[in-house]
Amino acid sequence: MPKSLTPRLAALNEEILGHAREFGLDFFETIFEVVTYDEMNMVASYGGFPNRYPHWRWGMEYEQLSKGYEYGLSKIYELVINNDPCYAYLLESNADVDQKLVMAHVYGHCDFFKNNFSFRHTNRRMIDEMANHATRVRRWIDKIGVEKVEDFIDKALSLENLIDQHAPHIRRNPDPKRAEDEAKSNERVEGFKVNREYMRGFINPSEFLDSQRKKVEEEKQKAKKFPERPQRDVLFFLLEHAPLEQWEADILGILRDEAYYFAPQGQTKIMNEGWASYWHSTIMTRRALKDDEIIDYADRHSGTMSTRPGSLNPYKLGIELWRDIEDRWNKGRFGKEWDECDDLRARSTWDKKLGAGREKIFEVRKHYNDITFIDTFLTAEFALEQKLFVYGFNDKRNSWEILDREFRKVKAKLLQGLTNFGQPIIEVVDGNHENRSELLLAHKHDGQDLKGDYARETLRCLQALWRRPVNIVTRYDGKGVMLRYDGQNHSEKKVDL
């Protein structure tokens, strides 16, 4: 069971907390708990939370984490939950210098959670919410049976990423207009109110009723052309329109809630990790490090910052970009004059001694997400200095290779990878496809094809919720294709786009 801080750790925390405040970091109260390695793995398997709904994939996560540790491949240093108060975990066996580093890092994250706009709509009582979710799912399991519930969760998880990642916040209430319309149409079908029964035939002649009925039917047909506009939040669409039983809708709603809670963390990975790294580095090197801790600190820090060819380390890219912004705003390397200067020597010695860097990065951490962060602040000089490149797969040589170092391509590729988390954008186009209540999705193709076997398996899951045939229009090798699963068979046909 997690323990609270030992007096020694509490003293270290007091110190680091003081430094963090002094530097102007602003965070909710942060509670550290001390855990053993096994406990750390458990909490990490639950996404940082002490309590989640029962599901085998947490067990899978746990298996992988424990194994990674056993084989000495990975070790989790830091875990922190976006919540008010923030919760973070310290590894019991760590040395003081590690604990200080983690604390400083955590305060960076907590500051980011509290202040970055992407998190404004997240539930700050998510620990309680997750526990409630767990209780609700457990109750359904008691009622419906573990097999059925787990099977449904498996299918719903397959669709978990089909939310509107960049929606400002989660939409919760179904359209109230719909209910109103329904009530009205019932009224019309029954005809005008009749006080004396013998008058009925005169007030509501059957032709009149028939024509009313027909009208309502037509309107319903028209209304069935839904959604009116393509809808990115596929989960919400399913919640509103799929023939789900109460327990299924409840669970799907839970998963959607959690997906929206985690979405901002995905959208600010580079900024957030970079910010936390910037602050652990600043606090440690300027304040908290003791002489005899320097080697260990340097070892830990450089481990976090290490890069491999063929992958991007968000910690490294993030911290460098934050430092670059600070440096530029300190020296006044921005604005019209700077942009238009093409004298290389002048540029290299440019320093207007503005000293506005610190202020600037605090402002940036408030109003940007990874996409706008990269788009606004990643400069050609920075890309060159950081040795960024685009890589891709060469079929002929059957290997990954460096394709390009040109700035614009690097930036475009980075932004592409960040859009929608680097996942395909999928929309509901029609919930009554071909007037047969089939579901039609569309993949907004941006040059990358879907992974075929995964797409087919996902269609299966979708069909299980929609209960009628499901289709998705996408593109393979440049040609339009509609994949279909009717509950029994997969099929494919060409379509013109």
Partner 1 sequence: MSLKIHQDHSRFKAIVRGKIKANLRKYVQKGEMLGKKGKDAISIPIPFIDIPRFKYGHKEQGGVGQGDGEVGQSLGPGQQQPGDGHQAGQGEGEHALEVDVTLDELAQILGEELQLPHIERRHNEKIVTQRIRYTGINTTGPESLRHFKRTFKQALKRQIATGTYDARNPVIIPTREDRRYRSYKLQDLPETNAVIIYMMDVSGSMGDEQKEIVRIESFWLDTWLRHQYKGLEARYIIHDAVAREVDRETFFHTRESGGTMISSAYKLCRDIIQADYPKSAWNIYPFHFSDGDNWSADDTRQCIEMLRNDILPSVNQFAYGQVESPYGSGQFIKDLREAVGAQQNVALSEIADKDAIYNSIKDFLGKGR
Q: Does 337 bind partner 1 (CB under 8 A)?
A: no
**Near partner 1 by CB under 8 A: residue from 195, 206, 399, 488:** 399
In the sheet where 30-35 sits, what is the strand order? Answer: 30-35, 86-91, 79-81
Count of residues of this chain found to bind partner 1 when the rule CB under 8 A is applied = 85
Question: Minimum distance between the CB of residue 94 and partner 1, rounded to whole angstroms?
Answer: 19
Look up tokens 């996408």; give the residue: 474
**Near partner 1 by CB under 8 A: residue from 410, 428, 439, 473:** 410
Nearer Cβ to partner 1, position 124 or 413?
413
Longest CA–CA separation in the chain, Å: 101
Residues in region 205-264 near partner 1 by CB under 8 A: none
| 382 phi/psi in degrees, rounded to 5 | -65, -45
Q: What distances in angstroms separate CA 441 from CA 237, 424, 436, 482, 487, one per listed residue?
A: 11, 12, 15, 9, 16
Interface mask toward partner 1 for 282-321; x: CB under 8 A: -------------------------xxxxxxxx-xx----
Residues 6+ apart with CB under 8 A from 156: 251, 252, 255, 461, 465
Q: Does 389 bind partner 1 (CB under 8 A)?
A: yes
Hey, how many other C-beta atoms are within 10 angstroms of the C-beta on 139?
A: 13
Nearer Cβ to partner 1, position 84 or 449?
449
Separation CA 350–CA 229 (nearest Å):
51
Q: Of 14-22, 183-191, 280-288, 442-450, which part binds partner 1 (CB under 8 A)?
A: 442-450
DSSP 426-444: EEEEEEEETTTTEEEEEEE
Separation CA 94–CA 101 (nearest Å):
11
Question: Minimum distance between the CB of residue 45 and partner 1, rounded to whole angstroms?
Answer: 6
Question: Minimum distance between the CB of residue 494 and partner 1, rounded to whole angstroms?
Answer: 20
Question: Minimum distance between the CB of residue 181 and partner 1, rounded to whole angstroms?
Answer: 33
Question: Minimum distance between the CB of residue 75 and partner 1, rounded to whole angstroms?
Answer: 14
Within its chain, how far is the Cα of 467 from the centroid?
A: 28
Whether residue 400 contacts residue 392, with contact meaning beta carbons closer than 8 Å, is answered with yes
- The dihedral over CA atoms of 215, 217, 220, 221, expressed in degrees to the nearest 10, equals -110
**Near partner 1 by CB under 8 A: residue from 341, 402, 495, 497:** 402
Within its chain, how far is the Cα of 291 from the centroid?
A: 40
Question: Minimum distance between the CB of residue 439 and partner 1, rounded to whole angstroms?
Answer: 14
Instruction: List the one residue out of 244, 228, 243 whose CA is nearest residue 430.
Output: 228
Residues in region 420-439 near partner 1 by CB under 8 A: 421-424, 426
**Near partner 1 by CB under 8 A: residue from 188, 413, 444, 468:** 413
Instruction: List the one residue out of 456, 439, 443 whose CA is nearest residue 492.
Output: 456
Strand bridging mode 490-494 / 79-81: unpaired
Residues in region 127-186 near partner 1 by CB under 8 A: 150, 154, 157-162
Interface mask toward partner 1 for 81-120; x: CB under 8 A: ----------------------------------------
The helix-helix angle for 246-267 and 146-158 (nearest 10°) equals 40
Residues in region 38-67 near partner 1 by CB under 8 A: 38-39, 42-43, 45-46, 50-52, 54-63, 67
Nearer Cβ to partner 1, position 51 or 115?
51
Residues in region 362-381 near partner 1 by CB under 8 A: none
Residue 287: DSSP 8-state: I
Nearer Cβ to partner 1, position 328 or 411?
411
Question: Minimum distance between the CB of residue 314 and partner 1, rounded to whole angstroms?
Answer: 6
Question: Residue 482's beta-bridge partner residues?
Answer: 473, 493
Question: Minimum distance between the CB of residue 30 and partner 1, rounded to whole angstroms?
Answer: 20
Residues in region 6-45 near partner 1 by CB under 8 A: 38-39, 42-43, 45
Question: Minimum distance between the CB of residue 172 and partner 1, rounded to whole angstroms?
Answer: 24
